Chains A and B, each alone.
Chain A
């Protein structure tokens, strides 16, 4: 099988995690479970981005004894998606904390975590 190598396996796992997260976002009624769906969606996107930057038989983009300094561009994987994912993880954490604090405040107001009890934005 041509598709059966490391980058394709991780890419397909990432796609599955994205779909599971989207399913959770759309179908769950519990507010905490919706937040968990969002986090899974986020994580799936990170896995997809990192696996797109992978190059076969190469090592992490850190210059040490394993990587020759003068030939680095032929020995390391792409550093840009990894830097992007580093950014995205931190922002995802901030957004998750923000959503959880909204959920906490909504629960304090109505004593319910079921989204069908919140009809304020429903038309």
Chain B
């Protein structure tokens, strides 16, 4: 009973804090100074049509590098934690998947991979970006794992793609120090014509690497969870 009342008190306290936030909030009418700078100067400084992308990749690019590192760390811990020795996988019981799922996955998986690549290549022009595109690619591969559970897929290829794209991201940042004004500066390449595919400097290249990295990390997590099914 004491424990239940504690839970009740905590919930009431958090609700009171959040209610204060709700009562004081009357809706914004203007952008803050930083946001106004990003919105008005973003086109000439970064050249990306999607302002969220210009904040994520260029203005706050260092934060994105930290975020990619956190995702890498959690994927690495999951991989380390769920490691199975694949010496005797013969006695594993697998159910057959239905004909509908099998056929549908053969049609859908290539389209999903293509759409994921489209989303992260166009991240500076339209809604989307590396993280979203990577998640779409990973969900396509998860559909493939579900439809064909017997198909073995090694971690090696995934690890190579992940490491190469992570290192390339850091090297592009260092190239910003050498050839432009600072770490992750996007003016290594020319900004190009606004609104075209080859514009916004280095942003499309960074987003391609981020997309590959996120896609391979999420696929690796799903693969580790799949390999552990027979032990549970």
Contacts and interface: CB of A to CB of B under 8 A. Distances in A.
Contacts of A87: 56, 63-64, 67
Interface in B18-49: 18-19, 21-22, 25, 27-32, 34-36, 38-40, 42-43, 49
B82 interface: yes
Interface of A: 5, 7-8, 11-12, 15, 18-19, 22-23, 26-27, 48, 52-56, 60-64, 69, 72-73, 76, 78-80, 82-83, 86-87, 89-91, 93-95, 97-98, 100-102, 104-105, 107-108
B38 A91 contact: no
B22 A15 contact: yes
A63 B125 CA distance: 8
A12 B22 contact: yes
Interface in B206-232: 214, 218, 221, 224-225, 228, 231-232
A64 B49 contact: yes
Nearest to A89: B131
A7 B26 CA distance: 9
Interface of A is mostly: helix
A95 B74 contact: yes
Contact of A54 (B27, B32, B74): B27
Nearest to A96: B74
A88 to B, nearest CB: 9
